[in-house]
Structure 1
Amino acid sequence: MVDPVRPPTPDTRRALGGYDPEAGRNQHEANAPTLIPVPSLLRSLLSDHLDPGYAAAARDDAKPRRRLANASWEVLAALAIATVFAFAVGQAQATAPGVRETQQALSASVRSAEQAADAATARRDAVSADLDAERRSRLEGDERGRQLLGDLDTATFAAAATAVRGPGLTVTITDPGVSKDLSDVSKGRVEGSRQVILDRDLQLVVNSLWASDAEAVSVGGVRIGPNVTIRQAGGGILVDNKPIASPYVILAIGPPNAMQDAFERSPGLQRLRLLETSYGVVVTVSAGDVVTIPAGSVRDVNFGKEIGDR
């Protein structure tokens, strides 16, 4: 039986062209001396095509080239980054004067609008006072006129259109600023804002004061009436479209002792106590014999819709 021809293995191919560790051993004669194989010059020339010294020299010569290529890429990357930064700095310096001028113009426009609004408010209050004095002088002369004045006073008080003075509560809320561990992500705070108290907190306090039998309420010097809103505007709070800032002073007129007892158990004060414990908000509640709340702005109602069962 003839053995099949096997393809040469890597060791066989190496033995054919160079040094074979088994070459020269006597495998057929028993007790015969074992020859130590020694590679011949021919086999060495056939197997080792490159002198080890040349190979080492080639490797040493390639290393500086690789280092030079890597250094070149690093230099190019650094130059690209420096170019981008230089362009950004130059563009910022070029646009800075225009940005400052625009900011100054906007600030001046806002201050001018605020001054005009304050002047218009003062004129409106003066005209309203003159109108009220004239109306009273004409209607106080007879019984029907006095009854009409009583109805008007009731309506204007319900509309928060008259100033009120009497005993009540003063709630002062001081915002401590930024806290590192604010966890109420649903509040949607503006990044970088130093604000913990938000519009929903003040709304809850005002509703709790109404539920505690308050007769009139103001927030930040603004009377709370039927058409007044408390809402967030970026990093600030607007009451009747007027900005207010910390500390927030909330005044409420009513029986001070009974109102304070009810307010202590209300959700509004519980919310403030939670913010006080968690974020360092400062909350003070004090009763007073004389609390003055200004009149609110009155707007004309052009449309109304009844809500609920008739």
Structure 2
Amino acid sequence: MTQPPQKPRASAVYAGPGREAESLLEQLADSAMDNAYYDVDRESEPSPASRTFTFLAILLLGFSITVVTVQSRNDRPATELERQALIDNIQARREILDSRQTRLEALQVEVQSLSNGAVTPTRATARDELNAGAVAVDGDGIVIELRSAPGNSGDGVISDLDVQLVVNGLWMSGAEAIDVGGNRLTATSAIRAAGEGITVNFNSIPEPIVIQAIGSQSSLERQFRVSPSGRYLENRSQMSGIRWTIERRDNVQLPAAPAKRLKIRHASPQKRGGS
């Protein structure tokens, strides 16, 4: 700031008490706005460096706000793209899963169709399975029960030989399947004595010993009674007191033999035309 022009100061000429007071007032009036005031006013104004710093600070703040705003706008599309990509990925996996499920169902239908169209077992094959004890069977037949003589001593006790003879007699009489004490008989079945008891396929059989056979009821009963096995039982009953009964029964049910009883370890089919 420029200083206002200073008024010429009056010379201090002594003119008595009144004039001296008047001269003092004039000096006070002239010096009321002197250089000291303008110096203080000049010091209160910001310096050029301060103005520059303030301008730079405002500029930096504005730049920062602009960057944050732009970055926020740029990040939003990226987030949307990632979200859409995730949705597309899930949808694609669902389509793959649906496709595989459809393929699985088609294969199941195909397998079922092939199973239905497969060659059915021949009559000979079915009979072989029946004779081997490989399948459970049911049908009309007869049931024979064996009991030891009262007192269970000496020759009056049912033996493994008695059971073997009855089974052989049933086979000879035309039985198609036989079960002894819940054990289906096969080509490898064993009927043996074990102490004072009897085992079939190594399973202990309690009395009364129940022997079931499937076949023609009338034919089985008639032929068994006149067979050597039937005559043997009748003789044993008269001589040793054992008891036995035979009866016809409808819907006799026999289980399949255990798989281990169906394994052939030594026998093999005979070659046709071989010596």
Bin of the TM-score, shorter chain as denominator length: 0.5 to 0.7
1:248–1:284 Cα change, 3 Å: same
What letter corresponds to residue 280 of structure 1 in structure 2? G
User: Pick from 112, 117, 129: which aligns with 1:156?
Assistant: 129
User: Pick from 206, 229, 247: which aligns with 2:208?
Assistant: 247
Partner residue in 1 for 2:183: 222
**TM-superposition CA deviations, 1:162-221 (whole Å, max 9, x none):** 1111010010111124467x4x6xxxxxxxxxx611111110100000000000001111
1:209–1:150 Cα change, 3 Å: closer
Partner residue in 1 for 2:170: 209
Output the TM-score relative to the length of structure 2.
0.52
Aligned-pair CA distance for 1:150: 6.1
* Larger RCO, structure (CA 8 Å, separation 6 or more): 2
Q: Return the alpha-carbon distance in structure 1 between the equivalents of residues 244 and 114 of structure 2.
A: 46
Partner residue in 2 for 1:304: 267
RMSD: 2.7
User: Pick from 256, 271, 276: which aligns with 2:232?
Assistant: 271
Output the TM-score relative to the length of structure 1.
0.47
Contact 1:218 1:251 (8 Å CA) reproduced:
yes
Q: Return the alpha-carbon distance in structure 1 between the equivalents of residues 125 and 113 of structure 2.
A: 14
Matched, 1:262 2:215: no
User: Pick from 173, 178, 194: which aligns with 1:233?
Assistant: 194
Q: After superposition, where does 1:145-184 map in structure 2 within 5 Å?
A: 145-148=118-121, 153-178=126-151, 182=154
Partner residue in 1 for 2:242: 281
Contact 2:141 2:215 (8 Å CA) reproduced:
yes
Listed as ranges, the gaps of 5+ residues in structure 1 are: 1-135, 185-194
Give the secondary structure class of the aligned counterpart of 1:147.
coil
Give the secondary structure class of the aligned counterpart of 1:170.
strand
Give the secondary structure class of the aligned counterpart of 1:228.
coil
1:272–1:150 Cα change, 3 Å: closer
Q: After superposition, where does 1:1-310 map in structure 2 within 5 Å?
A: 140-142=115-117, 145-148=118-121, 153-178=126-151, 182=154, 196-299=157-260, 300-304=263-267
What letter corresponds to residue 176 of structure 1 in structure 2? A
Report sequence identity in percent: 32
| Structure with larger Rg | 2
Aligned-pair CA distance for 1:154: 3.7
1:155–1:179 Cα change, 3 Å: closer
Give the secondary structure class of the aligned counterpart of 1:285.
strand
Partner residue in 1 for 2:91: none
Q: Return the alpha-carbon distance in structure 2 between the equivalents of residues 280 and 137 of structure 1.
A: 59
Partner residue in 1 for 2:43: none
Contact 1:219 1:251 (8 Å CA) reproduced:
yes
What letter corresponds to residue 172 of structure 1 in structure 2? E
What letter corresponds to residue 185 of structure 2 in structure 1? I
Q: Name the count of aligned residue pairs.
A: 160
1:251–1:159 Cα change, 3 Å: same
Contact 1:223 1:295 (8 Å CA) reproduced:
yes
Give the secondary structure class of the aligned counterpart of 1:157.
helix
Aligned-pair CA distance for 1:304: 2.0
Give the secondary structure class of the aligned counterpart of 1:302.
coil
1:282–1:141 Cα change, 3 Å: same
Aligned-pair CA distance for 1:267: 1.5
1:290–1:197 Cα change, 3 Å: same
Contact 1:139 1:146 (8 Å CA) reproduced:
no
What letter corresponds to residue 157 of structure 1 in structure 2? L
Aligned-pair CA distance for 1:305: 5.5
